[in-house]
Amino acid sequence: MTQTQFQVVILATDKACGNSRLSPIDDNIPHSLLPIANRPLISYQFEFLEKAGFETKSDNPIIIVVNEASEEKIRQHVSEIYKGLEVEFFVLKDRLASCEILYRIRDKIKSEYFIILNANLVLEETFIRQMADIHRSGEAAVTMLLKPAQKVVEQPSKKGAAEAPSSSKKELIFTDYIALDEKKEKVIMMEPGTEIEENLQFNKSLLKHFPNLTIYSDLQDTHFYIFSRWVLELIVEDQKEKYPLFSDIKKHLIPYLLSCQIPNIKRQRPLPESAFNLTQKISQEMSSTASPFNQFSDINIQKKKTIKCLAYILKNGYCMNVNTVKSYQQINRDISKGDLSLLPLEPKLEKNYFIDPAANVTPTQVGPYCVIGASSTLGSKCSVKFSIIGKHCKIGDNVRIENSIIMDHVNIEDKCTIKDSIICNDVFIKAGSSTVGQYLTK
Amino acid sequence: MAKDDKKSKGGSNTNTLDIKSEETLQAVVLGDSFDIKFSPVTLEKPRTLLPLVNIPLLDYTLEFLASSGVQEIFVFCCAHADQIKEYIQSSRWSNLPGVSVKCMTGRDCRTTGDALRGVYNAQVIQSDFILITGDVVSNMNLQKALQVHKARKEVDKNNIMTMVFKQASPTHRTRSKQDDTVIGTNSETLQLVWYDNSPKKKKSSIPIELFKKHPSIQMRYDLIDCHIDICSPEVLALFIDNFDFADIREDFIHDILGSELLDHKLYTYVLQGEYAARVKDLRTYHSVSKDIIHRWTFPMVPDNNFMCNTTYSLSRQMIYKERGVKLFGDCLISEETVLGTGTEVGSGSRISHSIIGRNCRIGKNVKIHGSYIWDNVVIEDNAVIQSSLLCNGAIVKSDSSIGRGSIIGFNVVVGNKLILEPFSKITLAEPEEDEDDEENIQDFNMGENGKGKKWILENEPYNELVQREIDEPSDSDSDEPGSGGVMPPTKDKDDDVPEFIKFQREVRDTIRRGINENLLMENIQVEINGLKFAYIKDGLDCLAAILPVLLEHPNINTVSAKDLSAFIVKRISSYSPLLVKFSSEDNQVDLIFKIQDFCDENEQYKSVFQLILHRLYDNDVISEDAILEWAQEIEDDEEDEGFYLKKCTELIKWLKSAEEESDEESEEDSDTDSD
């Protein structure tokens, strides 16, 4: 599959992209290098891009926006594993909002369409071809990938119990109220749950143009967007203004584009000419010359002056935004189950677990859905269930680990119990302690 | 309430019901609307008996119910109950096989809620029934909706009501302007979860709480409430429990949607392609009449003669005539017209887009346009009637004129040569003692031999028979060209007029009003801006429309050159703020060409072309660059245009010299001049 028309921008800055509620586990680790089933988060994106067939042409590289601090590590990781992809790094020295980032890298984006991929997204590539087609054929300004909210119920019974009650309030932050038209094609409105207090308000003039719309609270914005190039021009023009309107893609740019779908609305920033593309113009000219009635050409002018923002609702394939601790735990579980196309790097063994050959582990101590990284050692009479243990960990005797994530270089002494917890890099746990439902960092 | 009356009635009804099977389909027709939208007409006649295309409204509703298989119909009457009863007894409804139509009266009822409590007390409702107002015209398939309702009820006993909605765009003409309903339904089950009818608000909001129960909510702004509800008997019981419920829509529905305790559910049923509309106010009276004439309501169209007491036949151009219409001499009946039997039209009269009842006498050279004239009306010679409603027995004497939107009540006499202002409402009704109508009636000079009093209670502007001049000036996109509300009747014939002419007309009217009434410049600007967006025009179009009106001198053919100049100077300088708003660098050159065109069309202005240009320049409407550019352009053009260039040589010379001056010396004053 050739994807030369599409250029990918990965926003891999720390915390900057989207609402991130991963503290404390990302305090010391760059967000894009958080281990998920012992693989850095960013590696899933590269896997996605590779599988989706983004070409290695050097004139159309993948642009990855990173912070100064994490550049070295990510660069190292990329050069080691993904040699096939042409990647260009853009290093940020300061914190910038996403539109400002796009403004900075405007000269690097050359293709007709560009994809914004948030580095917290892990996804399978099955949908991308269809979504790209929809964007192209629909001549959309933006096409957003939406996914139906997953049913929380499906969790294995033992685990979810602890975190379920507290989740509802936090989840609201990541709830979007998304209005689609009756054919579920166009996005008409997108209100983040954070912006709404009690009532969801909307103008009746909006309803006049889209009199039959459906508001979904069970669709999630994945922060995966395909933009047409002219949107970049819009951003560039905007940034030249004294007070730019757009700073965040989701908070400012997309609502603005959505509002431009209403014909004749007063636009604070004029859309560039290229927004109304060629085929529309031709059809407009043809019909206006062919028809003796003025009304028709008026209708066409009206059509010409609008843009489209489309939605693509994910039907199958895995997709997860890693933006909360809960989703972080969830994705670790999902991937270590081993039934997705995304897998841990460690080889899968017969009992449905992944153990690195270089790990010093007696397989009988390890239950299913576990991942154990290279050079980690387990003491005698340990038991590990539904858990992930990173590289170079040292775990003493009689340790019970259940439903937890243990990152690299963790040292756990004898007779510890660890349950429903996340243990970050370089943590030392004293003998005999019990850790339940905690997130430990160094 | 007249309880005794009802009890006896109730008793007899239950007797008959016992014999019949339980499957009897019942309907309750509300014979009263509990509002005064049709005042002053409804002072004398109930709304349900008002003729719609010469057939009483109630007949449409009853016919609809009867043809949908309803076996027992209860007509609940309050105001003018005797008239309704009498009518039903005298019409074919009294002895139609298979359908029994019964009247119930509740004289003291003030609200729909009272009426429904009355129905409950009568204890006649056995099972699910249809609740409908007596002014609904519909050809929908009611059985289908009933099945859907019953199927839902099987699943959940709490589904107590299914409301019928008709899909139509927000600007559809059968949508009453008061009906600004936003409906939220659960997109999977069609359960009604949100109902908002607040025409005044520009925003609508729904509580996010709702999303907890209903993950996706479909918001519909394209539905018209048909006021046909399929109800379970529980609905009546709820009205009994909540004696303060007045209106179904406002109280009952809101209560049920807001109530946490009771788990009652309401559902929606959306019609597509079928017709259903309620004659809610004068505006919808007008539009439903049009729909009937245009046969959207088939089979309920005049030439179907479904009431078996009419003899209409249809001829070309949507003209319906009953037998026995006498047309004299060269009278002209044009499209969309209905004429009842026994009506005479004198020679030289012109009738268009109008509905005339039976036994009307229309004299010579009468002009009637877009009007509704009921039975036994006499219109004498040379009268002019514009978009008005004339009730039974009204007499319009010769040489009088009735302005648009007027309502002439029963037996009113409009005197000779009387000119009635638009939107006058005249009645002869005597105010009832206990009512407060008295203060709404005022003595009024009805001219020679005239008879009638003025009804001074004004309707809401959007509830007139035809549109008031400017309905909602602030809402620029409210009237989309070609599809907006009910067009003023003049527009009926305007439909094929190109948009830009309409636009020019409206701008012209706005400016004229501004000049005559000395309106604030900002207001004029806002209005024109609104038109600009409504018609999708740019600043140049606006200027081109505004200027001719500004320059138009009332007696252009006689005015002296000097006066004309003075007039132009004054007009341009006083309206320059307006002009500046619409002028921009890109359109100034084009504007000059437009002015040139204007002068071409109007000889008298040729002499003042330079003056106009100069004044516009002085008032910063057009810049020096634009003038020079224009001069440059026509220099290269045909010699024909040289005329104007010659006219302006002085000005251009002066401008050029000023420019040079400013270039050389950059003096303060020349700077400001050339800016």
Looking at the domain assignment, is residue B623 inside a domain?
yes
Interface test with B, best of A177, A188, A189, A208 (most B CBs within 10 A): A208
Residue A373 neighbours by CB under 8 Å, 6+ apart = A38, A346, A356, A359, A389, A390, A391, A392, A393, A408
Range of the domain at B331: 321-455
Would you call A184 an interface residue with chain B, using a CB distance cutoff of 8 Å?
no
Domain boundary among B243, B268, B286: B286
pLDDT digits (tens, 9 = 90+) for A298-328: 455 545 567 889 999 998 888 888 888 888 8
Across residues B428-439, what is the average pLDDT? 66
Across residues B471-482, what is the average pLDDT? 37
- Gap between the Cα atoms of B66 and B27, Å rounded: 10
State percent of chain A over pLDDT 90: 14
Residue B56, pLDDT > 90, answer yes
pLDDT digits (tens, 9 = 90+) for B161-209: 999 998 887 777 777 766 778 889 998 888 999 888 877 777 888 888 8
**B426 within 8 A of B406, measured Cβ to Cβ:** yes
Give the pLDDT confidence score for residue B640 in this predicted structure.
57
Domain co-membership, B327 together with B440: yes
pLDDT digits (tens, 9 = 90+) for A206-228: 888 888 899 998 888 888 999 99
Query: Could you give phi then psi for residue A323, rounded to 5 degrees?
Result: -130, -5
Domain count, chain B: 3
* Enclosing H/E stretch for B37: none
Residue B440, pLDDT > 70, answer yes
Contacts of A220 in chain B (CB under 8 A): none
pLDDT digits (tens, 9 = 90+) for B57-74: 999 999 999 999 999 999
Residue B128, pLDDT > 50, answer yes
Q: How many CA atoms lie within 13 A of A56 on its CB side?
A: 6
Give the pLDDT confidence score for residue B665 in this predicted structure.
47
Concatenated DSSP letters of A345-381: SSPEETTTEEE-TTSB--GGGB-SS-EE-TT-EE-TT
Residue B290 neighbours by CB under 8 Å, 6+ apart = B173, B336
CB contact under 8 A, B205 and A298: no
- Gap between the Cα atoms of B422 and B406, Å rounded: 6
Give the pLDDT confidence score for residue B6 in this predicted structure.
39
Would you call A302 an interface residue with chain B, using a CB distance cutoff of 8 Å?
yes
Would you call A201 an interface residue with chain B, using a CB distance cutoff of 8 Å?
yes
**B112 within 8 A of B131, measured Cβ to Cβ:** no
Across residues A139-150, what is the average pLDDT? 87
Give the pLDDT confidence score for residue A14 in this predicted structure.
67
Tokens describing residue B637: 């053009």
What is the band of B537 on the pLDDT scale with cuts at 50, 70, 90?
Answer: confident
CB contact under 8 A, A211 and B206: no
Q: Which amino acid is at B366?
A: V
- Gap between the Cα atoms of B354 and B387, Å rounded: 8
Domain co-membership, B332 together with B246: no
CB contact under 8 A, A204 and B482: no
Residue B494, pLDDT > 50, answer no
Contacts of A196 in chain B (CB under 8 A): 208
Give the pLDDT confidence score for residue B292 in this predicted structure.
93
What is the band of B322 on the pLDDT scale with cuts at 50, 70, 90?
Answer: very high
Give the pLDDT confidence score for residue B207 in this predicted structure.
85
Looking at the domain assignment, is residue B310 inside a domain?
no
Residue A351, pLDDT > 90, answer no
Looking at the domain assignment, is residue B486 inside a domain?
no
Q: Which of A127-141, B29-43, B293-307, B556-570 has the lowest mean pLDDT?
A: B556-570
Q: Which amino acid is at B79?
A: A
Residue B671, pLDDT > 50, answer no
Tokens describing residue A137: 């054929």
Looking at the domain assignment, is residue B17 inside a domain?
no
Residue B619, pLDDT > 60, answer yes
Domain co-membership, B280 together with B329: no
Q: Which residue has the tokens 């009506």?
A: B343
Domain co-membership, B327 together with B214: no
Among the listed residues B132, B120, B126, the one whose alpha carbon sits nearest the alpha carbon of residue B163: B132
- Gap between the Cα atoms of B425 and B388, Å rounded: 10
Give the pLDDT confidence score for residue B131 in this predicted structure.
94
State percent of chain B over pLDDT 70: 85
Paired residues of A191 in beta bridges: A177
Domain co-membership, B240 together with B145: yes
Domain co-membership, B39 together with B156: yes
Which CATH number do you get for residue B149?
A: 3.90.550.10
Give the pLDDT confidence score for residue B471 in this predicted structure.
42
3-state secondary structure of B550: helix
Give the pLDDT confidence score for residue A289 in this predicted structure.
45
Contacts of A204 in chain B (CB under 8 A): 180, 182, 201-204, 221
Tell me the ipTM for this assembly: 0.80
Residue A140, pLDDT > 60, answer yes
pLDDT digits (tens, 9 = 90+) for B215-225: 889 999 888 88
Q: Which of A128-137, A331-340, B303-312, B461-470 has the lowest mean pLDDT?
A: B461-470
Domain co-membership, B442 together with B543: no
Among the listed residues A238, A295, A303, the one whose alpha carbon sits nearest the alpha carbon of residue A277: A303
Residue B83, pLDDT > 80, answer yes
Among the listed residues B68, B278, B257, the one whose alpha carbon sits nearest the alpha carbon of residue B168: B278
Mean pLDDT of chain B: 80
Contacts of A296 in chain B (CB under 8 A): none
Q: Where is pLDDT greater, at B211 or B360?
A: B360
Q: Which of B268-272, B385-389, B578-582 has the lowest mean pLDDT?
A: B578-582
Give the pLDDT confidence score for residue B638 in this predicted structure.
57
Which CATH number do you get for residue B625?
A: 1.25.40.180
Domain co-membership, B396 together with B277: no
**Complete domains list, chain A, with CATH:** 6-271+307-321 (3.90.550.10), 346-440 (2.160.10.10)
Looking at the domain assignment, is residue B491 inside a domain?
no
Chain B residues near any Cβ of chain A (below 8 Å):
169-171, 180, 182, 187, 201-209, 211, 215-222, 477, 481-482, 498-500, 533, 535-536
Across residues B374-383, what is the average pLDDT? 94
Q: Where is pLDDT greater, at B442 or B154?
A: B154
- Gap between the Cα atoms of B551 and B435, Å rounded: 54
Tokens describing residue B629: 């550019």
- Gap between the Cα atoms of A402 and A434, Å rounded: 12
Domain co-membership, B508 together with B612: yes
Looking at the domain assignment, is residue B581 inside a domain?
yes
Paired residues of B77 in beta bridges: B105
pLDDT digits (tens, 9 = 90+) for A413-430: 999 999 999 999 899 999
**A87 within 8 A of A199, measured Cβ to Cβ:** no
Give the pLDDT confidence score for residue B267 in this predicted structure.
92
Task: Find the closest chain B residue to A294 by CA distance.
Answer: B498
Residue A164, pLDDT > 70, answer no
Domain co-membership, B433 together with B506: no
Domain co-membership, B66 together with B122: yes
Q: Which amino acid is at B436?
A: D
Task: Find the closest chain B residue to A178 by CA distance.
Answer: B216
Give the pLDDT confidence score for residue B248 in this predicted structure.
87
Q: Is the CA virtual torsion A337, A340, A346, A351 positive or negative? A: positive
- Gap between the Cα atoms of B116 and B125, Å rounded: 11
- Gap between the Cα atoms of B513 and B597, Å rounded: 25
CB contact under 8 A, B211 and A179: no
Looking at the domain assignment, is residue B645 inside a domain?
yes
Contacts of B208 in chain A (CB under 8 A): 177, 193, 196, 198-200, 217
Give the pLDDT confidence score for residue B20 in this predicted structure.
42
* Enclosing H/E stretch for B277: strand B276-278
Paired residues of B223 in beta bridges: B167
Among the listed residues B675, B478, B511, B477, the one whose alpha carbon sits nearest the alpha carbon of residue B582: B511
Residue B344, pLDDT > 90, answer yes
Which CATH number do you get for residue B325?
A: 2.160.10.10
Q: Where is pLDDT greater, at B147 or A15?
A: B147
Contacts of B494 in chain A (CB under 8 A): none
Give the pLDDT confidence score for residue B516 in this predicted structure.
76
CB contact under 8 A, A211 and B221: yes
Q: Where is pLDDT greater, at B462 or B95?
A: B95
Query: Could you give phi then psi for residue B474, rounded to 5 degrees?
Result: -75, -25
Paired residues of A262 in beta bridges: none
What is the band of A4 on the pLDDT scale with cuts at 50, 70, 90?
Answer: low
- Gap between the Cα atoms of A323 and B655, Å rounded: 67
Give the pLDDT confidence score for residue B354 in this predicted structure.
94
**A349 within 8 A of A367, measured Cβ to Cβ:** no
Residue B646, pLDDT > 50, answer yes
Looking at the domain assignment, is residue B311 inside a domain?
no
- Gap between the Cα atoms of A166 and A163, Å rounded: 6
Would you call A179 an interface residue with chain B, using a CB distance cutoff of 8 Å?
yes
Query: Could you give phi then psi for residue A383, rounded to 5 degrees?
Result: -135, 130
**B321 within 8 A of B305, measured Cβ to Cβ:** no
Give the pLDDT confidence score for residue B54 in this predicted structure.
92
Give the pLDDT confidence score for residue B8 in this predicted structure.
40
Interface test with A, best of B209, B213, B218 (most A CBs within 10 A): B218
Contacts of A213 in chain B (CB under 8 A): 218-219
Q: Where is pLDDT greater, at B609 or A417?
A: A417
Domain co-membership, B277 together with B422: no
- Gap between the Cα atoms of A196 and B167, Å rounded: 30
